Amino acid sequence: MTRINEKTRFHPMPDGGPASPEGFAAGGLHCGIKRKRPDLGWIYSEVPAAAAAVYTTNRFQAAPLRVTQDSLAVEGKLQAVLVNSGIANACTGEKGLADAYAMRRLFAERIGIPNHLVAVASTGVIGEPLPMANIQIGISKIHPAAADPDLFNRAILTTDTVTKHVAARTTIGGRTVTIGGAAKGSGMIHPNMATMLAFLTTDAAVEGAALQNELKAVTEETFNMITVDGDTSTNDMVILMANGRAGHAPIAPGHADWPAFMETLKFVCRTLAKAIARDGEGATKLIEVDVQGAPSHEAAKAIAKSVVGSNLVKTAVCGADANWGRIVCAVGYSGCPVDLNKLTVAFGSVTVLKNGTPLPFDEAAAETVLSGETVPIHIKLGDGEGCAVAWGCDMTADYVKINASYRT
């Protein structure tokens, strides 16, 4: 049995992914949506799995989200997911919706399961129709026996520069349980679900209602705490499937092993969320904003997201400039009541403002912190027990270059 870390109650598997849990397979291929790279990915469970999903808050939800919601509404289960990249199938009218339903039907027929057990996802350019002839040919080539998790990880990418995947193991009911996941996201990333897709799988047996409630809660603390550019997309969602193949009795909140399950799920989601933020379009650094001492948890979240989303903060980090005034400014317009006389700001271990008073600090030491691959910003408010962490990235000239020619 996998040795579990006694402090964390889970064992990280950095090379893992959605095919790591028992009974899951994943793969991908090139069907011709993109010029050369894999663009059609799939996940398959040997048995129907309890499933949950969280969707973008953009009012113009793309056709695949509507189809996936329709699938889950039947019995709250999924057995497979089909994903295409390159074209988002968003703002494509009734034809786009019909194409999304056709993707679901064709994949269900291919692997021999009911239509409602298939979820569909798309990502890419908005407003263009799917090349359904290419997709149909691609689906005809899918077979769970020909699985290749790396191809799935690559098939879901758009402007991402790296694949994003991880898994972790814990113990439930004396059985080894695995939670795995893969995600994509690089631009049009903003809290409250953005241009990102995340696919999570586990061989744990979890009651369906608990799965939905906890996925929403974990998403709030992880995927909804990242930002790259402030744009919330039309397409994106997080899907979690639990097929029960680990062989333990179903669990729910209150079970002795529920904390271990949740800690493992949070680790997987947090790892993927940070990977998305780190891979922001044109980014060179991950920014981590840690807020402590807020009057409430919600206030801490709002302040952390305000700072990490500030373009002035992001550009200062890009230039390794310890311009702490920009951080104070972002705290001030967060909408949360803050007493400046209690506000403390630090770059790593370099404190630049304490209880509202500027401090002389070592510019070279601050520049060293700001030049690292991960830039920690600590904010203390001295006004309560609320705390939160948000993640983002620096903004470089390459972000403009990438988005100025996204369609070409």
Active site residues: 195
Strand positions, DSSP E, 154-303? 164-172, 175-184, 197-202, 237-242, 286-294
Strands 197-202 and 175-184: antiparallel
Are 288 and 389 within 8 A, CB to CB?
A: yes
Residues 6+ apart with CB under 8 A from 93: none
Residues 6+ apart with CB under 8 A from 32: 39, 131, 134, 137, 138
Are 25 and 111 within 8 A, CB to CB?
A: no
Strands 77-87 and 40-55: antiparallel
Length, in residues, of the chain: 408
Q: Is residue 378 left, alpha or beta, with left meaning phi > 0 and alpha meaning psi from -120 to 50?
A: beta
* CA atoms of 156 and 132, how far apart (whole Å): 17
148-165: b (≥16 Cβ within 10 Å) or e: bbbbbbbbbbbbbeebbb
Give the burial class of 242: count Cβ atoms within 10 A of its Cβ; 0-12 exposed, 13-18 middle, 19 or more buried. Answer: buried
Q: What angle do CA 286, 322, 357 make, to 5 degrees?
A: 120
